[in-house]
Amino acid sequence: MNTALNLSSGPHVRDRWTTRFIMHVVCLSLLPAAAVGVAVYGLRALWIILVSVITAVGTEFLFDKLLHKPDTWKDGSAMVTGLMLALTLSPATPLYEPFLGSLFAILVVKCCFGGLGKNFINPALAGRCFLLISFSNSMTKYSLVDGVTTATPVEELANGNPVNITEMFLGLSNGVIGSSILALLAGGLVLWALDIIHGQICFSVIGAFTLFMALFGGQGFDPHFLAAHLCGGGVILGAFFMATDYVTSPVTRLGQTVYGILIGVLGAAFRIFGSAADSFSYSIIIANLFVPLIDTYIVSKPYAFRKKAIQLQSGEETKPFFKRIPKPVIALTAIALLAGVALSGVYSMTKETIDDQNRKKAWAAYQAVVPQAVSFEEIPEASEKSDDVYGSDFGRTYLNEAVVGKDASGATAGYAISVTCAEAYDGNLTLSVGISPDGAVNSIAFTELHETPGKGSLCDDPKFKDQFNGRSVSSFRLLKDGGSTKEDEIDGVSGATISSKAVINAVNAALDFYQNSIRGE
Amino acid sequence: MRKSFRGGVHPNDQKLLSKHAKLRRFDPKGEMVFPLAQHIGKPAKAVVKKNDSVLVGQVIGEADGFVSANIISSCSGKVKAVEKRRIISGAMAECIVIENDGLFTTIENLGESTDTDSLSNDDILLKIQKAGIVGLGGAGFPTHVKLKPKDPAAIKYILANGAECEPYLTCNDQLMQTEAPAIIAGLELVLRLFPNAKGVVGIEDNKPEAIAAMKAAATGHDKIEIRALRTKYPQGGEHNLIQTVTGIDYPVAKLPADVGCVVDNVGTIFAIERAVAHNEPLFTHVLTVSGDAVKEPGNFIVRDGTCFEELIEACGGLKEGAVLKKVLSGGPMMGFAVGTLGVHVQKTTNGITMLAEDPAEDAARRMTACLHCGRCTTVCPAGLLPQLMAEAAEEKNWERYEKKLYGLECVACGSCTYICPAKRPLTQTFKQAKAEIQAIKRTAASGGAK
DSSP-assigned beta bridge partners for residue A429: A421, A449
**Can you give the residue ranges of every domain in chain A?**
19-297, 370-518
Averaged pLDDT, groups of 10, chain A, 521 residues long:
74 92 94 93 92 96 91 90 93 91 94 88 93 79 52 68 78 83 93 92 93 83 83 88 91 92 90 75 92 89 89 74 71 84 80 79 85 85 78 84 87 89 83 89 87 83 88 86 83 85 90 85 54
Q: Which residue of A has its CA nearest to B155?
A: A315
State how far the Cα of A358 lies from the Cα of A214, in Å rounded to an integer. Answer: 24
State how far the Cα of B340 lies from the Cα of B336, in Å rounded to an integer. Answer: 12
CB contact under 8 A, B358 and A15: no
Residues of B with CB below 8 A from A191's CB?
none
Residues of A with CB below 8 A from B383's CB?
300-304, 306
Contact with chain A for residue B88, Cβ under 8 A? no
Q: Tell me if the bond preceding B234 is cis, omega within 30° of 0.
A: yes
List the single best residue of B371, B377, B391, B405 to mutate versus A (max A Cβ within 10 A).
B371
Q: What are phi and psi of B131, to 5 degrees?
A: -75, -5
Which residues, including other chains, have CB under 8 Å from residue A40's CB and lie 6 or more apart? A145, A171, A172, A180
CB pairs under 8 A between A and B: 192
Give the pLDDT score at A147: 45
CB contact under 8 A, B419 and A19: no
Interface of B with A in 190-249 (CB under 8 A): 239, 243, 246-249
Question: What is the enclosing helix (H) or strand (E) of A418?
Answer: strand A412-424
Least confident of A460-469, B12-21, B89-98, B147-156: A460-469
State the smallest CA–CA distance between residue A448 and chain B in angstroms.
54
Q: What are phi and psi of B255, to 5 degrees?
A: -100, 160
List the single best residue of B333, B358, B372 to mutate versus A (max A Cβ within 10 A).
B372
State how far the Cα of A281 lies from the Cα of A268, in Å rounded to an integer. Answer: 12
Interface of B with A in 377-396 (CB under 8 A): 377-378, 382-385, 387-388
CB contact under 8 A, B332 and A8: no
The three-state (H, E, C) secondary structure of B204-257, written as one string = ECCCHHHHHHHHHHHCCCCCEEEEEECCCECCCCHHHHHHHHHCCCCCCCCCHH
b/e map A8-17, b = 16+ CB within 10 Å:
bbbbbbbbeb
State how far the Cα of A488 lies from the Cα of B375, in Å rounded to an integer. Answer: 74
Q: Could you tell me whether strands B224-229 and B198-204 are parallel, antiparallel, or unpaired per DSSP bridges?
A: parallel
* Sign of the alpha-carbon torsion through B394, B397, B401, B404: negative
The DSSP secondary structure of A346-389, one letter per residue, reads HHHHHHHHHHHHHHHHHHHHHHHHSTT-SEEEE-HHHHHTTTS-
State the smallest CA–CA distance between residue B353 and chain A in angstroms.
10
Evaluate whether B303 touches B32 at the Cβ level (below 8 Å).
yes
Give the pLDDT score at B259: 92
Per-residue confidence at B211, pLDDT binned at 50, 70, 90? very high
Interface of B with A in 348-377 (CB under 8 A): 353, 355, 358-364, 366, 368-375, 377
Beta strands in A117-261 (DSSP E): 142-143, 149-150
Q: Per-residue pLDDT averaged across B141-156, rounded?
A: 93
In this structure, what DSSP letter does residue B19 have?
A: T
The three-state (H, E, C) secondary structure of A34-86, written as one string = HHHHHHHHCHHHHHHHHHHHHHHHHHHHHHHHHCCCCCHHHHCHHHHHHHHHH
Which residue type occupies B312?
I
State how far the Cα of B383 lies from the Cα of B59, in Å rounded to an integer. Answer: 43
Residue whose C-alpha is closest to residue A432's, from A403, A471, A390, A389: A403
Which residues, including other chains, have CB under 8 Å from residue B174's CB and lie 6 or more apart? B21, B22, B23, B286, B299
In this structure, what DSSP letter does residue B105 have?
A: P
Q: Per-residue pLDDT averaged across B164-175, rounded?
A: 95
Q: What are phi and psi of B386, to 5 degrees?
A: -55, -35
State the smallest CA–CA distance between residue B285 and chain A in angstroms.
24
Q: How far is CA A470 from its chain centroid?
A: 44
State how far the Cα of A416 lies from the Cα of A426, in Å rounded to an integer. Answer: 25
Which residues, including other chains, have CB under 8 Å from residue B13's CB and lie 6 or more apart? B167, B168, B206, B231
Contact with chain A for residue B433, Cβ under 8 A? no
Q: What structural domains does chain B harbor?
A: 1-26+110-357 (3.40.50.11540), 363-449 (no CATH)
Evaluate whether A171 touches A145 at the Cβ level (below 8 Å).
no
Q: Is the ipTM of this complex over 0.95?
A: no
Of A151 and B68, more confident: B68
Which residue type occupies A516?
N
Per-residue confidence at B109, pLDDT binned at 50, 70, 90? confident
Least confident of A167-176, A227-236, B244-253, B417-426: A167-176
Residues of B with CB below 8 A from A17's CB?
375, 419, 421
Residue whose C-alpha is closest to residue B276's, from B118, B140, B104, B44: B118
Residues of A with CB below 8 A from B167's CB?
13
Q: Reduced to 3 states, what is the DSSP secondary structure of residue A237?
A: helix
Give the pLDDT score at A141: 67
CB contact under 8 A, B421 and A8: no
Give the pLDDT score at A354: 78
State how far the Cα of B415 lies from the Cα of B377, in Å rounded to an integer. Answer: 10
Evaluate whether B351 touches B331 at the Cβ level (below 8 Å).
yes
Q: Reduced to 3 states, what is the DSSP secondary structure of residue B445?
A: helix
Average model confidence (pLDDT) across chain B:
93
Which residues, including other chains, have CB under 8 Å from residue A329's CB and lie 6 or more apart? none
Which residue type occupies B169?
L
Burial of residue B90 (CB within 10 Å: 0-12, 13-18, 19+) is middle
Evaluate whether A110 touches A123 at the Cβ level (below 8 Å).
yes
CB contact under 8 A, B418 and A11: yes
Phi-psi group of A299: left, alpha or beta (phi > 0 → left; psi -120 to 50 → alpha; rest → beta): beta
State how far the Cα of A2 lies from the Cα of B343, in Å rounded to an integer. Answer: 11
State how far the Cα of B58 lies from the Cα of B56, in Å rounded to an integer. Answer: 6
Residues of B with CB below 8 A from A21's CB?
421
State the smallest CA–CA distance between residue B181 and chain A in angstroms.
33
Give the pLDDT score at B410: 94
Q: How far is the first Cα of chain A from the last one, in angstroms, to the nearest whole number?
A: 103
B219-237 pLDDT per residue, tens:
999 999 999 999 999 999 9
Q: Could you tell me whether strands A441-449 and A427-435 are parallel, antiparallel, or unpaired per DSSP bridges?
A: antiparallel
State how far the Cα of A475 lies from the Cα of A425, in Å rounded to an integer. Answer: 22
Distances (CA, A) of B322 to A137, A420, B142, B326, B424: 65, 84, 39, 11, 27
Residues of B with CB below 8 A from A295's CB?
388
Evaluate whether A197 touches A244 at the Cβ level (below 8 Å).
yes
Q: Tell me if the bond preceding A462 is cis, omega within 30° of 0.
A: no
Contact with chain A for residue B399, Cβ under 8 A? no
CB contact under 8 A, A302 and B373: no
State how far the Cα of A485 lies from the Cα of A477, in Å rounded to an integer. Answer: 11
Q: How far is CA A393 from its chain centroid?
A: 27
Half-sphere exposure of B187 (CA within 13 A, CB side): 34
Residues of A with CB below 8 A from B249's CB?
302-304, 306, 309, 312-313
Rounded to 10 degrees, the C-alpha dihedral A262/A264/A270/A272 comes to -130
State how far the Cα of B173 lies from the Cα of B181, in Å rounded to an integer. Answer: 14
Other CB atoms within 10 Å distance of the CB of residue B218: 21
Evaluate whether B296 touches B289 at the Cβ level (below 8 Å).
no
Evaluate whether A440 touches A470 at the Cβ level (below 8 Å).
yes
